[in-house]
Amino acid sequence: MSDYDRPTGNLSAADCEILDALLPAFAFGLLDENEKQQVEKLLPNCPDRASELADYQALAGKMLHSATPVEPPPDLLLRLLQATAPTASANSDNITLLPKPESRRQTSRFNPGVLAGIAAALVLVVLTGWIFFQTAQLSRTVEAQETLLSLFATDQVVSFELTDPSDTPTNARAVLKCNAGQKVAVLHAEAFPVSADEEFEVWLWLDQVTKISGGFLEIDPAGSGTLIFEAPEVMGTYQYVSITPIPAAGETVKPVVRGSLYPTLPEQQG
């Protein structure tokens, strides 16, 4: 019988010391079943080992992020989107368009031929509408896929961090992902100020005085929002980006976040 297999009826400091030997491997999920059970029995009686266990569990979590970075093939996203794309037949099993023949026969007071014609016409109308709806949905999906693929299909996508430039910065931040040679960009904002009717505008700066709107950013109640937009020029044209509340006419508003893009220039207001 090994030390680890001893009965646990009389717990002592020695029993807790057994934990010291087993805790690291326990946190990493490396113990055999009997050892794992042993640890689970001993743990509640050794509360002073809790922080040690937490340390090892945190290290195990970090191990997940420790693999050497390897670039996935560019078409993996395409395969993923194809695998998750809605199909026209996906919901067809749930659609019942025709009444059951048995009940129709029992309740009908009309000529069966006329009824069948009306039913067929109704089916045609419903089916046509459904096909249009599905086609529109698929078109939107394909459009979104193409937009994103044009951005992510190369290895030249760069992330830019946008942060609060004020003297007393908030946690508001945003990440802009774009490719210098493409017009499409994806912006994701977090921890933005939330109010009932506040919207935000994304500004792309060509130089120190000329800015154009990249679009409006909707923020959810948690302060997060995502915007996919197409700029008038390729993203490499712009020198930095800022996000502000939507200004009233003639009003100057301070940016919630701001960050430099490809060429780094002196910081600007708004």
Q: Does the footprint of other proteins cover residue 248 (CB under 8 A)? A: no
139/132 Cα distance (integer angstroms): 10
Q: Pick one of 3, 32, 207, 218: the residue that binds other proteins (CB under 8 A).
A: 32
Q: Does the footprint of other proteins cover residue 136 (CB under 8 A)? A: no
Q: Which amino acid is at 24?
A: P
Compare residues 86 and 117 and give the one whose CB is closer to other proteins: 86
Written as one string, the DSSP assignment of 131-168 is: HHHHHHHHHHHHHHHHHHHHHHSSS--EEEEEE--SSS
Q: Pick one of 42, 186, 202, 257: the residue that binds other proteins (CB under 8 A).
A: 186
Q: Does the footprint of other proteins cover residue 157 (CB under 8 A)? A: yes
| Nearest distance from C-beta of residue 31 to other proteins, angstroms | 6
Q: Show the tokens assigned to 60.
A: 């195990």
Q: Per DSSP, what are the bridge partners of residue 258?
A: 163, 242
Q: Which of residues 44-73 bind other proteins (CB under 8 A)?
A: 55-73
Q: Pick one of 43, 180, 191, 234: the residue that binds other proteins (CB under 8 A).
A: 191
Q: Show the tokens assigned to 171.
A: 């946690």
Q: Does the footprint of other proteins cover residue 180 (CB under 8 A)? A: no
Pairing type for strands 200-205 and 211-217 reads antiparallel
Q: Pick one of 10, 12, 84, 107: the residue that binds other proteins (CB under 8 A).
A: 84
Compare residues 140 and 254 and give the one whose CB is closer to other proteins: 140
Q: Which of residues 97-126 bind other proteins (CB under 8 A)?
A: none
Q: Per DSSP, what are the bridge partners of residue 64?
A: none
Residue of 15, 65, 56 lying closest to 39 (CA atoms): 15
Q: Does the footprint of other proteins cover residue 144 (CB under 8 A)? A: yes
| Nearest distance from C-beta of residue 181 to other proteins, angstroms | 17
| Nearest distance from C-beta of residue 266 to other proteins, angstroms | 27
Residue of 170, 168, 195, 185 lying closest to 238 (CA atoms): 185
Compare residues 21 and 98 and give the one whose CB is closer to other proteins: 21
Residue of 185, 202, 188 lying closest to 148 (CA atoms): 185
Q: How many CB atoms lie within 10 A of CB 105?
A: 10
123/97 Cα distance (integer angstroms): 6
Residue ranges that bind other proteins, judged by CB under 8 A = 21, 24-33, 35-36, 55-73, 76-77, 79-81, 83-86, 141, 144-145, 148, 152, 157, 171, 177, 186, 188, 190-191, 226, 228
